[in-house]
Homo-oligomer: A and B are copies of this chain.
Amino acid sequence: MLSFEVLKQDGQTSARICLMKTAHGVIETPSFVPVATLGSVRSLDSCDLEALGVQCALANTYHLHLKPGDELIRRLGGLHRFMGFSRPLFSDSGGFQAFSYGLGREHNIGKIGCIFPQERADDESARDKKENKKESKRENLTRISDEGIAFKSMYDGAWHFFDAERSMRIQSNLGSDIIMAFDECTSPLSDYDYTRRAMQRTHDWAGLSLRYHDQNQALYGIVQGGWFEDLRRESTEFIASLPFEGIAIGGSLGNCKADMHQVLDWVVPGLDERPRHLLGIGEIDDIFEGVQRGMDTFDCVSPTRIARRGNLYIHPLSGGSVSNKFRINIKSKIYEEDSRPADPLCRCPTCQSYSRAYLRHLYVARELSYFRLASIHNLHFMMRLMEEIRESINKGSFFDLKKRWLEPS
């Protein structure tokens, strides 16, 4: 289902260029995977994605199961046909949403602040207002047992139940190319004992996922273990020992960016050559750190989500830096008469046609066209960044590139 080849290994770091071949085409890695929560990368359509050179996308099992239903998607020929996207699709297992609507809510984390993964797929799941309203209730909407996860639908309050078999069946109905084993994601506030129990459940479910998954789909195992070194190492060893076609790193990645790098340093040495996916991470400095540590693919809602909130990426040569998160915020009054494009160095369709002043006007006026134009810009930016990263690995200059982006003189 998935053929995988390491084309080039960086000399100084664990960064690598790989080629993943699926029935729906190839992915050159390192690659950024936009999130199409409900079968649509918010505010864009599949033609936009293909025009932007997006190689692949990730859809959410939890959301599509509830709306419009995975059985419906199966009857309509699968998710590729349903959403008119001909390129490789990933799907997640639904386990992250169990965290996000369960412990994540209870602990008031998982989305904002310093907790990773802070901008995961579920952020796309509802309109911001509704979400904030619900969030303030802090109701844990999930009940987790060794058998699986019962959860209350965020749409209509009905109770549903996921287990490994169910997650595999839903992902089979979607027909995604790369699927994830069913897992439990823990919170950074979960203690050692809880994190250990959750990891053991994840390991049990890994075996069940391997048993029940559709053999036409490439199944990735998920390493859990929170921010505990021995658990992460144990989970890595166990998951890597199973015949998964790839390995994803999930769950709580600590309390700050340095913690996330630490987790990668615990996990990656225990992995073999198989493809590696970092779940829910997509900020620019994190991409560099992940690539350096050998990660191949990254999914995150961040580029399109921050776009909708007015944040547009800018290249270091246009003033982007770690301190401004490589962003301008277009709602600022300083852009009111700025006739330059969002990023003067950018060649995306938005920057080819529209000024900061116009984008700001659309944003302030809440014109719907703003959301798409801004999302196009940010996704184009990510695509070009990944291209630059691949080129630099190819030329043996990844470290230089990283330095130019993260520590400019």
Contact = CB atoms under 8 A, between A and B. Distances in A.
Interface size class of A (residues with CB under 8 A): 35 or more
Contacts of A68: 336, 357, 360-361, 364-365
Contact of A372 (B38, B67, B368): B368
Contacts of A353: 45-47, 84
A77 interface: yes
A262 to B, nearest CB: 37
Given A45-B353, A368-B372, A369-B44, A67 B127 contact: no
Interface in A368-385: 368-369, 371-373
A45 B44 CA distance: 13
Nearest to A44: B369
A38 B84 contact: no
Given A68-B336, A372-B368, A76 B355 contact: yes
Interface in A66-103: 67-68, 72, 75-77, 82-84
B354 A39 contact: no
A339 interface: yes
A133 interface: no
A30 to B, nearest CB: 27
A42 interface: yes
A35 to B, nearest CB: 13
Given A45-B372, A349-B47, A367 B76 contact: no
Contact of A358 (B84, B339, B357): B84
Given A45-B369, A47-B353, A84-B353, A364 B67 contact: yes
Contacts of A401: none
B82 A358 contact: yes
A366 interface: yes
Given A45-B373, A76-B339, A38 B358 contact: no
Contacts of A153: none
Most buried by B among A46, A353, A366: A353
A407 interface: no
A358 B80 CA distance: 11
Nearest to A38: B365
Interface centre among A46, A365, A372, by most chain B C-beta atoms within 10 angstroms, is: A365
Nearest to A353: B84
A306 interface: no
Contacts of A360: 68
| 8 closest Cβ pairs, A-B complex | A43-B368, A84-B353, A68-B361, A40-B367, A45-B369, A40-B369, A38-B365, A368-B371
Interface of A: 38-40, 42-47, 67-68, 72, 75-77, 82-84, 127, 336-337, 339, 349, 353-355, 357-358, 360-362, 364-369, 371-373
22 contacts: A38-B362, A38-B365, A39-B358, A39-B361, A40-B362, A40-B369, A43-B369, A45-B353, A45-B369, A67-B365, A68-B357, A68-B365, A72-B337, A72-B357, A75-B337, A76-B339, A76-B357, A82-B357, A82-B358, A84-B354, A127-B366, A369-B372
